[in-house]
Structure 1
Amino acid sequence: MIDTAAVAQIVDDAAHTAQAIGQLSETGYALTLAEAYEVQAWSMARRVDRGEKIIGVKMGFTSKAKMVQMGVADLIWGRLTDAMLLEDGGELNLSNYVHPRIEPEIVFRLSKPLTGEVTLLEAMAAVDAIAPAMEVIDSRYENFKFSLEDVVADNSSSSGLVIGAWQSVPEDISNLGIAMEFNGKPVQVGSSAAIMGNPYRSLVAAARLAAEAGMVLEKGWVVMAGAATAAEALMPGVHVRMVAEKLGCVEITVNGE
Protein backbone atom coordinates (compact mmCIF):
# COMPACT_ATOMS: atom_id res chain seq x y z
CA MET A 1 0.00 0.00 0.00
CA ILE A 2 1.31 3.44 -0.97
CA ASP A 3 1.82 6.01 1.82
CA THR A 4 -0.17 8.85 0.25
CA ALA A 5 0.88 11.34 2.93
CA ALA A 6 4.54 10.71 2.09
CA VAL A 7 3.85 11.12 -1.62
CA ALA A 8 2.01 14.35 -0.83
CA GLN A 9 5.18 15.71 0.77
CA ILE A 10 7.08 15.05 -2.47
CA VAL A 11 4.44 16.85 -4.54
CA ASP A 12 4.03 19.72 -2.09
CA ASP A 13 7.78 20.28 -1.80
CA ALA A 14 8.01 20.44 -5.60
CA ALA A 15 5.24 23.03 -5.78
CA HIS A 16 6.51 25.02 -2.80
CA THR A 17 10.05 25.29 -4.18
CA ALA A 18 9.11 25.40 -7.90
CA GLN A 19 11.27 22.36 -8.66
CA ALA A 20 10.41 19.72 -11.24
CA ILE A 21 10.12 16.07 -10.21
CA GLY A 22 9.82 12.81 -12.12
CA GLN A 23 6.40 11.39 -12.83
CA LEU A 24 5.04 9.58 -9.79
CA SER A 25 3.80 6.79 -12.05
CA GLU A 26 7.38 6.21 -13.28
CA THR A 27 9.21 6.60 -9.96
CA GLY A 28 7.63 3.83 -7.92
CA TYR A 29 4.29 5.45 -7.08
CA ALA A 30 1.70 3.90 -9.37
CA LEU A 31 -1.34 5.53 -7.79
CA THR A 32 -4.96 4.66 -8.34
CA LEU A 33 -7.24 7.63 -9.04
CA ALA A 34 -8.61 7.41 -5.49
CA GLU A 35 -5.07 7.43 -4.08
CA ALA A 36 -4.20 10.40 -6.32
CA TYR A 37 -7.02 12.41 -4.77
CA GLU A 38 -5.76 11.36 -1.31
CA VAL A 39 -2.33 12.73 -2.24
CA GLN A 40 -3.96 15.96 -3.40
CA ALA A 41 -5.88 16.28 -0.13
CA TRP A 42 -2.77 15.65 1.99
CA SER A 43 -0.73 18.07 -0.11
CA MET A 44 -3.28 20.86 0.20
CA ALA A 45 -3.61 20.16 3.93
CA ARG A 46 0.11 20.91 4.21
CA ARG A 47 -0.54 24.31 2.60
CA VAL A 48 -3.36 25.01 5.04
CA ASP A 49 -1.00 24.11 7.89
CA ARG A 50 1.35 26.80 6.55
CA GLY A 51 -1.46 29.37 6.81
CA GLU A 52 -3.18 29.20 3.44
CA LYS A 53 -6.98 29.17 3.25
CA ILE A 54 -9.12 27.12 0.88
CA ILE A 55 -11.24 29.52 -1.21
CA GLY A 56 -12.79 27.19 -3.78
CA VAL A 57 -12.18 24.58 -6.43
CA LYS A 58 -11.17 24.36 -10.08
CA MET A 59 -12.57 21.98 -12.66
CA GLY A 60 -10.57 20.23 -15.35
CA PHE A 61 -11.22 18.11 -18.44
CA THR A 62 -14.42 20.07 -19.05
CA SER A 63 -14.36 19.49 -22.80
CA LYS A 64 -15.33 16.25 -24.51
CA ALA A 65 -12.18 16.43 -26.63
CA LYS A 66 -9.96 16.56 -23.54
CA MET A 67 -11.80 13.64 -21.93
CA VAL A 68 -11.28 11.55 -25.06
CA GLN A 69 -7.63 12.60 -25.26
CA MET A 70 -7.00 11.53 -21.66
CA GLY A 71 -9.18 8.42 -21.87
CA VAL A 72 -11.47 9.43 -19.01
CA ALA A 73 -15.22 9.60 -18.55
CA ASP A 74 -15.42 12.26 -15.85
CA LEU A 75 -14.03 15.64 -14.92
CA ILE A 76 -11.14 16.16 -12.53
CA TRP A 77 -10.86 18.87 -9.92
CA GLY A 78 -8.41 20.62 -7.64
CA ARG A 79 -8.42 22.95 -4.67
CA LEU A 80 -7.81 26.72 -4.72
CA THR A 81 -6.19 28.71 -1.90
CA ASP A 82 -5.86 32.40 -1.17
CA ALA A 83 -2.10 32.19 -1.78
CA MET A 84 -2.82 31.23 -5.39
CA LEU A 85 -4.69 34.48 -6.08
CA LEU A 86 -2.97 36.95 -8.40
CA GLU A 87 -4.01 40.58 -8.66
CA ASP A 88 -5.99 41.67 -11.70
CA GLY A 89 -3.69 44.08 -13.53
CA GLY A 90 -0.74 42.97 -11.41
CA GLU A 91 2.32 40.85 -12.08
CA LEU A 92 3.11 37.15 -12.19
CA ASN A 93 6.61 36.14 -11.15
CA LEU A 94 7.93 33.28 -13.26
CA SER A 95 10.34 32.21 -10.53
CA ASN A 96 7.37 30.84 -8.57
CA TYR A 97 6.59 28.24 -11.24
CA VAL A 98 8.23 25.36 -13.10
CA HIS A 99 6.76 25.74 -16.60
CA PRO A 100 3.53 27.77 -16.27
CA ARG A 101 0.78 28.06 -18.82
CA ILE A 102 -2.35 30.19 -18.75
CA GLU A 103 -5.89 29.61 -19.99
CA PRO A 104 -9.10 31.69 -20.11
CA GLU A 105 -11.93 30.70 -17.77
CA ILE A 106 -15.21 31.74 -16.25
CA VAL A 107 -15.46 31.75 -12.45
CA PHE A 108 -18.54 31.57 -10.23
CA ARG A 109 -18.95 32.96 -6.69
CA LEU A 110 -21.33 31.04 -4.44
CA SER A 111 -24.01 32.75 -2.37
CA LYS A 112 -24.81 29.57 -0.46
CA PRO A 113 -23.36 26.09 0.11
CA LEU A 114 -23.67 23.56 -2.68
CA THR A 115 -23.02 19.82 -2.52
CA GLY A 116 -24.22 16.48 -3.83
CA GLU A 117 -26.54 15.77 -6.72
CA VAL A 118 -27.98 19.15 -7.73
CA THR A 119 -29.92 20.26 -10.77
CA LEU A 120 -28.81 22.88 -13.23
CA LEU A 121 -31.37 25.30 -11.77
CA GLU A 122 -30.16 24.64 -8.23
CA ALA A 123 -26.59 25.31 -9.30
CA MET A 124 -27.61 28.54 -11.02
CA ALA A 125 -29.52 29.67 -7.92
CA ALA A 126 -26.38 29.23 -5.79
CA VAL A 127 -24.37 31.76 -7.85
CA ASP A 128 -24.45 35.42 -6.86
CA ALA A 129 -21.75 36.72 -9.21
CA ILE A 130 -19.63 35.72 -12.18
CA ALA A 131 -16.34 37.03 -13.51
CA PRO A 132 -13.83 36.60 -16.31
CA ALA A 133 -10.75 34.79 -15.07
CA MET A 134 -7.52 33.12 -16.09
CA GLU A 135 -5.97 30.06 -14.48
CA VAL A 136 -2.24 29.47 -14.29
CA ILE A 137 -1.54 25.77 -14.66
CA ASP A 138 1.90 24.43 -13.82
CA SER A 139 2.56 20.72 -13.72
CA ARG A 140 5.48 20.04 -11.44
CA TYR A 141 6.53 17.05 -13.53
CA GLU A 142 9.57 17.12 -15.77
CA ASN A 143 8.86 17.92 -19.42
CA PHE A 144 5.18 18.62 -18.62
CA LYS A 145 4.55 14.87 -18.96
CA PHE A 146 2.16 13.02 -16.68
CA SER A 147 -0.55 10.39 -16.33
CA LEU A 148 -4.11 11.10 -15.19
CA GLU A 149 -3.23 10.03 -11.65
CA ASP A 150 -0.06 12.13 -11.66
CA VAL A 151 -1.94 15.30 -12.59
CA VAL A 152 -4.70 14.76 -10.02
CA ALA A 153 -2.10 14.21 -7.28
CA ASP A 154 -0.49 17.51 -8.35
CA ASN A 155 -3.72 19.42 -7.57
CA SER A 156 -4.84 18.96 -11.18
CA SER A 157 -2.02 21.35 -12.20
CA SER A 158 -3.76 24.34 -10.62
CA SER A 159 -1.19 26.89 -9.48
CA GLY A 160 -2.69 30.37 -9.72
CA LEU A 161 -5.74 32.35 -10.72
CA VAL A 162 -6.49 35.94 -11.59
CA ILE A 163 -10.11 37.10 -11.35
CA GLY A 164 -11.61 40.16 -13.03
CA ALA A 165 -14.38 42.37 -11.66
CA TRP A 166 -17.39 40.49 -10.36
CA GLN A 167 -20.52 40.95 -12.48
CA SER A 168 -24.23 40.28 -12.11
CA VAL A 169 -25.01 36.96 -13.73
CA PRO A 170 -26.20 37.32 -17.36
CA GLU A 171 -29.36 35.49 -18.30
CA ASP A 172 -27.50 33.15 -20.66
CA ILE A 173 -23.80 32.24 -20.40
CA SER A 174 -23.88 29.16 -22.62
CA ASN A 175 -22.18 30.73 -25.64
CA LEU A 176 -20.15 33.80 -24.64
CA GLY A 177 -17.31 34.81 -26.93
CA ILE A 178 -13.89 34.64 -25.26
CA ALA A 179 -10.48 35.83 -26.43
CA MET A 180 -7.05 35.78 -24.81
CA GLU A 181 -4.31 38.13 -26.00
CA PHE A 182 -0.54 38.24 -25.57
CA ASN A 183 0.75 41.81 -25.93
CA GLY A 184 -2.44 42.82 -27.72
CA LYS A 185 -2.45 39.97 -30.22
CA PRO A 186 -5.06 37.18 -29.99
CA VAL A 187 -3.53 33.81 -29.15
CA GLN A 188 -6.70 31.91 -28.25
CA VAL A 189 -10.30 32.55 -29.30
CA GLY A 190 -13.23 30.45 -28.17
CA SER A 191 -16.59 30.29 -26.45
CA SER A 192 -17.98 29.38 -23.06
CA ALA A 193 -19.82 26.62 -24.94
CA ALA A 194 -16.51 24.72 -24.86
CA ILE A 195 -17.08 24.29 -21.11
CA MET A 196 -19.43 21.30 -21.19
CA GLY A 197 -21.81 23.14 -23.53
CA ASN A 198 -22.76 25.39 -20.60
CA PRO A 199 -20.44 26.36 -17.71
CA TYR A 200 -23.21 25.69 -15.18
CA ARG A 201 -22.86 21.98 -15.97
CA SER A 202 -19.34 22.21 -14.62
CA LEU A 203 -20.71 23.67 -11.38
CA VAL A 204 -23.18 20.77 -11.13
CA ALA A 205 -20.27 18.35 -11.52
CA ALA A 206 -18.24 20.27 -8.93
CA ALA A 207 -20.99 19.82 -6.34
CA ARG A 208 -21.17 16.09 -7.06
CA LEU A 209 -17.41 15.50 -6.96
CA ALA A 210 -17.02 17.57 -3.81
CA ALA A 211 -19.66 15.45 -2.08
CA GLU A 212 -17.88 12.27 -3.15
CA ALA A 213 -14.80 13.62 -1.38
CA GLY A 214 -16.81 14.50 1.73
CA MET A 215 -16.66 18.22 0.98
CA VAL A 216 -19.16 21.04 0.68
CA LEU A 217 -18.70 23.93 -1.75
CA GLU A 218 -19.00 26.70 0.83
CA LYS A 219 -20.75 30.06 0.66
CA GLY A 220 -18.29 32.65 -0.66
CA TRP A 221 -16.12 30.07 -2.42
CA VAL A 222 -15.19 30.44 -6.06
CA VAL A 223 -15.52 27.71 -8.66
CA MET A 224 -13.38 27.85 -11.80
CA ALA A 225 -15.63 26.31 -14.45
CA GLY A 226 -12.88 25.10 -16.77
CA ALA A 227 -10.85 26.27 -19.73
CA ALA A 228 -12.64 27.79 -22.70
CA THR A 229 -9.61 27.28 -24.97
CA ALA A 230 -6.23 25.56 -24.96
CA ALA A 231 -3.55 26.92 -22.62
CA GLU A 232 -0.62 29.09 -23.70
CA ALA A 233 2.92 28.93 -22.29
CA LEU A 234 3.97 32.03 -20.37
CA MET A 235 7.13 33.98 -21.17
CA PRO A 236 8.89 36.96 -19.54
CA GLY A 237 7.52 40.37 -20.49
CA VAL A 238 4.19 39.14 -21.83
CA HIS A 239 1.07 41.12 -21.00
CA VAL A 240 -1.88 38.71 -20.95
CA ARG A 241 -5.43 39.97 -21.36
CA MET A 242 -8.62 37.93 -21.52
CA VAL A 243 -11.92 39.40 -22.71
CA ALA A 244 -15.25 37.67 -22.24
CA GLU A 245 -18.51 38.79 -23.86
CA LYS A 246 -20.87 40.37 -21.29
CA LEU A 247 -18.29 39.91 -18.51
CA GLY A 248 -15.45 42.28 -19.30
CA CYS A 249 -11.72 41.63 -19.07
CA VAL A 250 -8.95 40.47 -16.78
CA GLU A 251 -5.22 40.95 -17.25
CA ILE A 252 -1.78 40.28 -15.84
CA THR A 253 1.85 40.92 -16.81
CA VAL A 254 4.62 38.33 -16.58
CA ASN A 255 7.98 39.25 -15.10
CA GLY A 256 11.07 37.24 -14.25
CA GLU A 257 13.89 35.71 -16.27
Structure 2
Amino acid sequence: MNTVELAAALDAAALAGRALPGDGSGPRDTDDAYAVQAALLARRLARGERLTGFKLGFTSLAKMRQMGVRDLIHGRLTDRMEIPDGGILDVSRLIHPRVEPEVAFLLGDTLLPGGDPMAAVAAVAPALEVIDSRYDGFRFSLPEVIADNTSASGYAVGPWSAPGELGNLGVLVELDGRLAETGSTAAILGHPVRALAAAARLAGSLAPGTVVLAGAATAAVPLPPGTHVRAEVAGLGTVRFTTTTPEEHP
Protein backbone atom coordinates (compact mmCIF):
# COMPACT_ATOMS: atom_id res chain seq x y z
CA MET A 1 0.00 0.00 0.00
CA ASN A 2 1.11 3.56 -0.63
CA THR A 3 1.15 6.40 1.92
CA VAL A 4 -2.47 7.43 1.36
CA GLU A 5 -3.73 3.85 1.47
CA LEU A 6 -1.82 3.07 4.68
CA ALA A 7 -3.16 6.22 6.35
CA ALA A 8 -6.70 5.29 5.31
CA ALA A 9 -6.29 1.76 6.67
CA LEU A 10 -5.01 3.00 10.04
CA ASP A 11 -7.79 5.58 10.22
CA ALA A 12 -10.44 2.98 9.46
CA ALA A 13 -8.99 0.60 12.07
CA ALA A 14 -9.20 3.30 14.74
CA LEU A 15 -12.74 4.32 13.79
CA ALA A 16 -14.00 0.72 13.75
CA GLY A 17 -11.98 -0.54 16.71
CA ARG A 18 -10.56 -3.40 14.64
CA ALA A 19 -6.85 -4.19 14.57
CA LEU A 20 -4.62 -4.51 11.53
CA PRO A 21 -2.05 -7.30 11.30
CA GLY A 22 1.42 -6.11 12.26
CA ASP A 23 2.97 -8.19 9.54
CA GLY A 24 5.62 -5.86 8.20
CA SER A 25 3.49 -4.78 5.24
CA GLY A 26 3.46 -1.19 6.48
CA PRO A 27 6.04 1.51 5.74
CA ARG A 28 9.60 0.32 5.29
CA ASP A 29 11.53 3.13 6.97
CA THR A 30 10.99 6.01 9.35
CA ASP A 31 10.77 8.67 6.62
CA ASP A 32 7.91 6.81 4.97
CA ALA A 33 6.36 6.20 8.40
CA TYR A 34 6.23 9.88 9.30
CA ALA A 35 4.70 10.60 5.88
CA VAL A 36 1.94 8.11 6.69
CA GLN A 37 1.49 9.68 10.14
CA ALA A 38 1.11 13.11 8.52
CA ALA A 39 -1.46 11.78 6.05
CA LEU A 40 -3.34 10.08 8.90
CA LEU A 41 -3.47 13.32 10.88
CA ALA A 42 -4.58 15.23 7.79
CA ARG A 43 -7.61 12.95 7.53
CA ARG A 44 -8.50 13.64 11.15
CA LEU A 45 -8.01 17.39 10.85
CA ALA A 46 -10.27 17.36 7.80
CA ARG A 47 -13.00 15.90 10.03
CA GLY A 48 -12.67 18.86 12.39
CA GLU A 49 -10.05 17.76 14.91
CA ARG A 50 -7.59 20.36 16.14
CA LEU A 51 -3.93 19.81 17.06
CA THR A 52 -3.30 20.40 20.76
CA GLY A 53 -0.07 18.65 21.61
CA PHE A 54 3.09 16.72 20.85
CA LYS A 55 4.06 13.40 22.42
CA LEU A 56 7.30 11.46 22.68
CA GLY A 57 7.87 7.73 22.61
CA PHE A 58 10.78 5.46 23.55
CA THR A 59 11.94 7.89 26.24
CA SER A 60 13.03 4.88 28.27
CA LEU A 61 16.63 4.01 27.43
CA ALA A 62 15.85 0.34 28.08
CA LYS A 63 12.97 0.47 25.60
CA MET A 64 15.19 2.09 22.99
CA ARG A 65 17.73 -0.69 23.38
CA GLN A 66 14.96 -3.30 23.21
CA MET A 67 13.63 -1.85 19.93
CA GLY A 68 17.12 -1.36 18.51
CA VAL A 69 16.70 2.37 17.96
CA ARG A 70 18.94 5.33 18.77
CA ASP A 71 16.43 8.15 18.84
CA LEU A 72 12.98 8.94 20.14
CA ILE A 73 9.80 8.74 18.13
CA HIS A 74 7.02 11.31 18.22
CA GLY A 75 3.36 11.80 17.47
CA ARG A 76 0.62 14.41 17.75
CA LEU A 77 -2.29 15.01 20.10
CA THR A 78 -5.68 16.47 19.16
CA ASP A 79 -8.59 17.98 21.02
CA ARG A 80 -10.71 14.86 20.55
CA MET A 81 -8.10 12.85 22.43
CA GLU A 82 -8.48 15.01 25.55
CA ILE A 83 -9.97 13.32 28.65
CA PRO A 84 -11.09 15.74 31.38
CA ASP A 85 -9.34 15.22 34.71
CA GLY A 86 -11.84 13.20 36.73
CA GLY A 87 -13.88 12.52 33.60
CA ILE A 88 -15.04 9.50 31.62
CA LEU A 89 -13.29 7.67 28.79
CA ASP A 90 -15.45 5.65 26.41
CA VAL A 91 -13.40 2.53 25.64
CA SER A 92 -16.09 0.80 23.57
CA ARG A 93 -14.27 1.64 20.32
CA LEU A 94 -10.75 0.98 21.52
CA ILE A 95 -8.95 -2.25 20.65
CA HIS A 96 -6.63 -3.07 23.56
CA PRO A 97 -6.01 0.15 25.50
CA ARG A 98 -3.23 0.65 28.00
CA VAL A 99 -2.42 3.59 30.24
CA GLU A 100 0.84 5.11 31.43
CA PRO A 101 1.78 8.06 33.67
CA GLU A 102 3.67 11.04 32.28
CA VAL A 103 4.78 14.59 32.95
CA ALA A 104 3.05 17.24 30.82
CA PHE A 105 4.48 20.61 29.86
CA LEU A 106 2.34 23.58 28.78
CA LEU A 107 4.20 25.98 26.52
CA GLY A 108 3.85 29.68 27.21
CA ASP A 109 6.28 30.72 24.45
CA THR A 110 7.48 29.13 21.23
CA LEU A 111 9.73 26.15 21.90
CA LEU A 112 12.77 26.18 19.63
CA PRO A 113 15.81 23.90 19.40
CA GLY A 114 18.83 24.99 21.43
CA GLY A 115 18.95 27.02 24.59
CA ASP A 116 16.97 26.34 27.75
CA PRO A 117 13.73 24.51 26.88
CA MET A 118 12.19 25.37 30.26
CA ALA A 119 12.26 29.05 29.29
CA ALA A 120 9.29 28.30 26.99
CA VAL A 121 7.30 26.44 29.67
CA ALA A 122 4.38 28.14 31.42
CA ALA A 123 3.32 25.21 33.63
CA VAL A 124 3.76 21.50 34.35
CA ALA A 125 1.28 18.83 35.42
CA PRO A 126 0.87 15.10 36.06
CA ALA A 127 -0.66 13.33 33.08
CA LEU A 128 -2.00 9.99 31.89
CA GLU A 129 -1.68 8.81 28.31
CA VAL A 130 -3.90 6.13 26.83
CA ILE A 131 -2.18 4.13 24.11
CA ASP A 132 -4.05 1.74 21.81
CA SER A 133 -2.10 0.29 18.94
CA ARG A 134 -4.07 -0.21 15.77
CA TYR A 135 -1.97 -3.34 15.20
CA ASP A 136 -3.07 -6.73 16.47
CA GLY A 137 -1.65 -7.64 19.87
CA PHE A 138 0.52 -4.52 20.05
CA ARG A 139 2.90 -6.25 17.61
CA PHE A 140 4.48 -3.88 15.12
CA SER A 141 7.71 -2.77 13.51
CA LEU A 142 9.28 0.59 14.32
CA PRO A 143 7.95 2.22 11.10
CA GLU A 144 4.48 0.78 11.78
CA VAL A 145 4.20 2.31 15.26
CA ILE A 146 5.39 5.69 13.94
CA ALA A 147 2.81 5.57 11.15
CA ASP A 148 0.16 4.75 13.76
CA ASN A 149 0.88 8.08 15.50
CA THR A 150 2.92 6.19 18.13
CA SER A 151 -0.22 4.36 19.36
CA ALA A 152 -1.62 7.63 20.78
CA SER A 153 -5.28 7.38 21.74
CA GLY A 154 -6.08 9.78 24.59
CA TYR A 155 -4.62 11.87 27.36
CA ALA A 156 -5.66 13.44 30.65
CA VAL A 157 -3.81 16.27 32.37
CA GLY A 158 -4.04 17.10 36.06
CA PRO A 159 -3.78 20.54 37.66
CA TRP A 160 -1.19 22.84 36.14
CA SER A 161 1.42 24.33 38.46
CA ALA A 162 4.49 26.53 38.19
CA PRO A 163 7.58 24.69 36.91
CA GLY A 164 9.88 23.36 39.62
CA GLU A 165 12.31 20.49 40.10
CA LEU A 166 11.19 17.51 38.01
CA GLY A 167 14.09 15.07 38.33
CA ASN A 168 13.57 11.77 40.15
CA LEU A 169 10.04 12.43 41.41
CA GLY A 170 8.14 9.35 42.58
CA VAL A 171 5.33 8.17 40.29
CA LEU A 172 2.52 5.69 40.91
CA VAL A 173 -0.48 4.35 39.02
CA GLU A 174 -3.57 2.87 40.70
CA LEU A 175 -6.42 0.91 39.13
CA ASP A 176 -9.55 0.88 41.29
CA GLY A 177 -7.46 1.92 44.28
CA ARG A 178 -4.93 -0.90 43.86
CA LEU A 179 -1.31 -0.12 43.10
CA ALA A 180 -0.47 -1.15 39.54
CA GLU A 181 2.93 0.46 38.81
CA THR A 182 5.53 2.61 40.55
CA GLY A 183 8.44 4.48 39.04
CA SER A 184 10.24 7.77 38.80
CA THR A 185 10.41 10.72 36.46
CA ALA A 186 14.08 9.78 36.09
CA ALA A 187 12.87 6.98 33.79
CA ILE A 188 12.10 9.70 31.23
CA LEU A 189 15.55 10.06 29.61
CA GLY A 190 17.04 10.52 33.07
CA HIS A 191 15.11 13.81 33.45
CA PRO A 192 11.86 15.02 31.78
CA VAL A 193 13.52 18.26 30.67
CA ARG A 194 15.71 16.22 28.33
CA ALA A 195 12.53 14.97 26.67
CA LEU A 196 11.34 18.56 26.27
CA ALA A 197 14.64 19.46 24.58
CA ALA A 198 14.21 16.43 22.30
CA ALA A 199 10.70 17.60 21.40
CA ALA A 200 12.13 20.95 20.30
CA ARG A 201 14.75 19.20 18.17
CA LEU A 202 12.31 16.79 16.55
CA ALA A 203 9.49 19.27 15.94
CA GLY A 204 11.66 22.20 14.85
CA SER A 205 9.34 24.49 16.79
CA LEU A 206 6.20 24.17 18.89
CA ALA A 207 3.75 27.00 19.40
CA PRO A 208 2.56 28.55 22.66
CA GLY A 209 -0.39 26.66 24.10
CA THR A 210 0.99 23.28 23.00
CA VAL A 211 0.89 20.43 25.51
CA VAL A 212 4.01 18.25 25.42
CA LEU A 213 3.85 14.75 26.92
CA ALA A 214 7.38 13.84 27.93
CA GLY A 215 7.04 10.05 27.83
CA ALA A 216 6.10 7.22 30.16
CA ALA A 217 7.50 7.08 33.68
CA THR A 218 6.44 3.42 34.18
CA ALA A 219 5.43 0.46 32.07
CA ALA A 220 2.00 0.75 30.44
CA VAL A 221 -0.88 -0.95 32.24
CA PRO A 222 -3.82 -2.72 30.50
CA LEU A 223 -6.97 -0.61 30.82
CA PRO A 224 -10.20 -2.64 31.00
CA PRO A 225 -13.68 -1.09 30.93
CA GLY A 226 -15.24 -0.03 34.22
CA THR A 227 -11.91 0.98 35.77
CA HIS A 228 -10.99 4.03 37.81
CA VAL A 229 -7.43 5.13 36.99
CA ARG A 230 -5.38 7.43 39.18
CA ALA A 231 -1.78 8.57 38.79
CA GLU A 232 0.30 10.62 41.18
CA VAL A 233 3.56 12.41 40.55
CA ALA A 234 5.17 13.52 43.80
CA GLY A 235 5.23 17.29 44.05
CA LEU A 236 2.95 17.74 41.02
CA GLY A 237 -0.29 16.14 42.19
CA THR A 238 -2.75 13.62 40.79
CA VAL A 239 -4.77 12.99 37.65
CA ARG A 240 -7.61 10.49 37.21
CA PHE A 241 -10.42 9.26 34.98
CA THR A 242 -12.86 6.34 34.75
CA THR A 243 -13.49 4.04 31.78
CA THR A 244 -17.01 3.05 30.76
CA THR A 245 -18.38 -0.47 31.03
CA PRO A 246 -19.84 -2.52 28.14
CA GLU A 247 -23.32 -2.11 29.65
CA GLU A 248 -23.04 1.66 29.30
CA HIS A 249 -22.34 1.30 25.57
CA PRO A 250 -24.34 -1.70 24.32
User: Given the two structures, how large is their TM-score scaled by the length of structure 2?
Assistant: 0.95
Deviation track 1:122-145 (CA, whole Å, cap 9, x = no partner) reads 201110100100000000111211
How do residues 125-136 of structure 1 correspond to structure 2 at under 5 angstroms? 125-136=119-130
What is the distance in 2 between the residues matched to 1:30 and 1:183? 39
Q: Take 2:23 and 2:9, find their aligned partners in 1: how far apart are those partners?
A: 9
1:58 aligns to what? Answer: 55
Paired residues of 2:100 and 2:218 also in contact (CA < 8 A)? yes
| One-letter amino acid of the structure 2 residue matched with residue 118 of structure 1 | G
Q: Aligned residue for 1:5?
A: 4
Counterpart Cα distance in 2 of 1:169 and 1:73: 29
Alpha-carbon distance between aligned partners in 2 of 1:247 and 1:210, rounded to the nearest angstrom:
26
Distance across 2 between alignment mates of 1:128 and 1:3:
41
Which SS does the other structure have where 1:200 is aligned? helix
Q: Deviations over 1:216-252 (max 9, x none)?
A: 3111000000000000001122111001111110001
In structure 2, the partner of 1:118 is 114
* Map of 1:157 onto structure 2: 151
Confirm or deny: 8 A CA contact 1:133 1:250 kept in the other structure: yes
Give the CA deviation at 1:22.
1.4
Are 2:65 and 1:76 equivalent residues in the alignment?
Answer: no
Aligned to 2:222: 233
Equivalence map 1:33-44=2 (5 Å): 33-44=30-41
Cα deviation digits, residues 63-104 of structure 1 (max 9, x gap): 110000100000000000000001111111111211000000
Matched, 1:253 2:242: yes
Which residue does 2:19 correspond to in 1? 20
Cα distance in 1 for partners of 2:190, 2:6 equals 36
Three-state SS of the structure 2 residue aligned to 1:94 is coil
Q: Distance in 1 between matches of 2:85 and 2:139?
A: 30
1:178 aligns with 2:171: yes
Q: Is the 8 A contact 1:24 1:30 kept in 2?
A: no
Could you tell me whether the CA contact under 8 Å between 1:24 and 1:150 is conserved in 2? Answer: no
Where do residues 197-216 of structure 1 align in structure 2 (5 Å cutoff)?
A: 197-211=190-204, 216=205
Query: Partners in 1 of 2:84 and 2:8 — Cα distance?
Result: 28
What is the CA distance between 1:16 and its match in structure 2?
A: 2.0
Deviates more, 1:3-12 or 1:96-105: 3-12
Deviations 1:136-170 (A, max 9, x none): 00001112111111100000001100111111111
**What is the rounded CA distance, in whole Å, between the counterparts of 1:17 and 1:38 in structure 2?**
23
Cα RMSD (Å) of the superposition?
Answer: 1.1
CA apart distance, 1:23: 1.9
What letter matches 1:14 in structure 2? A
Question: Retained in 1: the 8 A contact 2:27–2:147?
Answer: no
Among the aligned pairs, what percent are the same residue? 50
SS across alignment from 1:40:
helix
2:181 is aligned to 188
Deviation string 1:4-27 (CA, Å, 9 cap, x unpaired) is 1221111111112222111262x4
Return the alpha-carbon distance in structure 2 between the equivalents of residues 105 and 96 of structure 1: 24
User: Per-residue displacement from partner, 1:37-56 (whole Å, max 9, x unpaired)?
Assistant: 10001101111000000011
* Aligned AA (2:43): R
Contact 2:125 2:236 in 1 (8 A): yes
